[in-house]
């Protein structure tokens, strides 16, 4: 049996024990929300296609309303799929004579599982919607390619801020359906994204010497006046140089996709959702955590991601200002046309590489 670096059963037990404390939605409320999202997700798909030109190659989008425990289960399945290469490597017998790290014992795996479970439980209270592009196993196609909405979280935000439910749900659907269009309307996108993620774990080494070296690098960064957590949380701090390159590539891609999602959502909502600007302002403020939740966001890299997403939105708007959608659409041609994270931060450099001349450059 392949050893697992994380006890997923322990992660599930911890996360579901915490996430399951929420009061269950009334059946009628959940059924009404499911009917809304089924209708509004289909509507959003047409609006997104009209705005972006991206048409899904996987058929119509399907909506599914889940609770926090359901969200945990979906994401544990995704993590298991992503970390399988690492588990296989730890269990492999080396043919080169080089000693591989020993697989974690049951106690270490259980502790890691508990830590992952705590993180997932916390995140399950924050997520409103998600398109899961990671769960791609071939043997369960009926469970693939859903746009998920975390019903209790959506209902809680609507009640807290007095949002009109139908407007708010369409607004959420626009963002998530845009992500589906990116991953199912661009033929190479899913495989490219998964290859980048797998690169970040390909060289994972639990050797304590590696951990010590990473801590020393982080201390050097701090002395130089740069917080190492700003580039992606603890994962970036503990990464090897090769992994950091992959993390940077993922950061650039996700910055582009999230920024494009926000721009598309804003434009598609313009005539359909009168309160779209209010929704955007309110949820941006909701992201600005304080106290313990802010610390958790920083440690896991969510703060870094949010900054990158804002930069991605600025990138999209600047590229389209210079060359319109035809120039921006070059990002969908092939992976080599994707902007790097530095290019996201300096759109003029990508514009020049893409064959246009930025006005400021002469």
Q: Which of 61-75, 91-105, 196-210 has the highest mean pLDDT?
A: 61-75
Which ranges constitute the DSSP H helices of the chain?
8-19, 27-52, 68-91, 106-124, 151-161, 165-185, 189-202, 208-223, 233-238, 241-269, 276-287, 291-299, 302-328, 341-345, 347-353
Measure the CA–CA gap between 160 and 270, rounded to whole angstroms.
24
- Computed over every residue of the chain, the mean pLDDT equals 79
Model confidence at 116: pLDDT above 90: no
CA distances from 8 to 77, 109, 231 (A): 9, 9, 27
Measure the CA–CA gap between 133 and 145, rounded to whole angstroms.
7
Which pLDDT band holds residue 210 (cuts at 50, 70, 90)?
Answer: low
Instruction: Name the more confident of 340 and 117.
Output: 340
Per-residue pLDDT tens over the stretch 257-285: 999 999 999 999 988 999 999 998 898 77
Start-to-end Cα distance in the chain: 63
Lowest mean pLDDT among 66-70, 181-185, 281-285: 281-285
Model confidence at 361: pLDDT above 50: no
The reported pLDDT for the residue numbered 204 is 56
Burial bucket for residue 311 (CB in 10 Å: 0-12, 13-18, 19+): buried
Cα angle for residues 165, 166, 171 (degrees, 5° grid): 95
Model confidence at 244: pLDDT above 90: no
Q: Is 212 helix (H, G, I), strand (E, B) or coil?
A: helix
Model confidence at 104: pLDDT above 60: no
Lowest mean pLDDT among 131-135, 173-177, 314-318, 327-331: 131-135
CB atoms within 10 A of CB 22: 15
Lowest mean pLDDT among 7-11, 49-53, 186-190, 277-281: 7-11
The reported pLDDT for the residue numbered 298 is 45
Measure the CA–CA gap between 303 and 232, rounded to whole angstroms.
8
Using H for helix, E for strand and C for coil, what is the string for 63-126?
A: EEEECHHHHHHHHHHHHHHHHHHHHHHHHCCCCCCCCCCCCCCHHHHHHHHHHHHHHHHHHHCC
Tell me the torsion sign for CA atoms 81, 85, 89, 93.
positive
Measure the CA–CA gap between 259 and 223, rounded to whole angstroms.
32
**Residues 67 and 150 sit within 8 Å (Cβ to Cβ):** yes
Q: What are phi and psi of 232, to 5 degrees?
A: 140, 25
Instruction: Please spell the DSSP secondary structure of 127-157, one letter per residue.
Output: --EEE--S---TT-GGGSSEEEEEHHHHHHH
| Domain limits, the chain | 1-95+105-186, 188-357
The reported pLDDT for the residue numbered 196 is 82
Q: What are phi and psi of 280, to 5 degrees?
A: -65, -45
Q: Is 7 helix (H, G, I), strand (E, B) or coil?
A: coil
Mean pLDDT of 117-121: 82
Superfamily of domain 1-95+105-186: Zincin-like metallopeptidase, N-terminal domain (1.20.150.30)
Instruction: Name the more confident of 25 and 221.
Output: 25
Mean pLDDT of 241-251: 74
Mean pLDDT of 51-69: 93
Model confidence at 1: pLDDT above 50: no
The count of residues in the chain is 362
Per-residue pLDDT tens over the stretch 153-182: 999 999 999 999 999 999 999 999 999 999
Mean pLDDT of 294-301: 45
Which pLDDT band holds residue 195 (cuts at 50, 70, 90)?
Answer: confident
Which pLDDT band holds residue 20 (cuts at 50, 70, 90)?
Answer: confident
**Residues 301 and 236 sit within 8 Å (Cβ to Cβ):** yes
The reported pLDDT for the residue numbered 74 is 87
């Amino acid at each position: 049996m392949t050893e697992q670096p994380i006890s997923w059963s322990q992660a599930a037990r911890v996360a579901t024990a915490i996430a399951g404390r929420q009061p269950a939605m009334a059946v009628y409320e959940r059924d009404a929300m499911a009917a809304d999202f089924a209708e509004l997700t289909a509507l959003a798909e047409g609006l997104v296609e009209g705005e972006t030109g991206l048409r899904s190659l996987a058929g119509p989008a399907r909506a599914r309303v889940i609770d926090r425990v359901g969200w945990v289960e979906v994401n544990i399945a995704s993590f298991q799929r992503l970390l399988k290469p690492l588990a296989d490597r730890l269990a492999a017998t080396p043919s080169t004579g080089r000693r591989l790290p020993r697989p974690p014992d049951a106690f270490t795996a259980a502790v890691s599982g508990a830590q992952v479970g705590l993180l997932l439980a916390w995140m399950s209270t924050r997520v409103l919607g998600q398109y899961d592009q990671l769960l791609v196993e071939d043997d369960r196609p009926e469970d693939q390619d859903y746009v998920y909405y975390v019903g209790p979280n959506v209902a809680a935000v609507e009640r807290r801020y007095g949002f009109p439910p139908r407007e708010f749900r369409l607004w959420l659907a626009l963002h998530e359906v845009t992500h589906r269009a990116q991953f199912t309307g661009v033929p190479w996108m899913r495989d490219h994204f998964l290859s980048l993620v797998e690169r970040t774990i390909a060289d994972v080494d639990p050797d304590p010497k590696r951990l010590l070296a990473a801590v020393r690098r982080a201390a050097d960064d701090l002395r130089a006046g740069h917080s190492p957590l700003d580039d992606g949380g603890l994962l970036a701090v503990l990464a090897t140089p090769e992994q950091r390159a992959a993390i940077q590539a993922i950061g650039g891609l996700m910055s582009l996709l999230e920024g494009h999602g926000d721009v598309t959502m804003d434009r598609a909502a313009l005539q359909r959702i009168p309160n779209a600007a209010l929704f955007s302002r309110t949820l941006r403020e909701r992201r600005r955590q304080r106290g313990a939740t802010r610390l958790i966001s920083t440690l896991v890299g969510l703060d870094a991601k949010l900054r990158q997403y804002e930069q991605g939105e600025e990138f999209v708007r600047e590229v389209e200002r210079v060359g319109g959608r035809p120039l921006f659409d070059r990002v969908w041609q092939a992976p080599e046309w994707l902007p790097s994270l530095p290019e996201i931060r300096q759109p003029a450099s990508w514009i020049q590489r893409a064959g246009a001349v930025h006005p400021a450059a002469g």
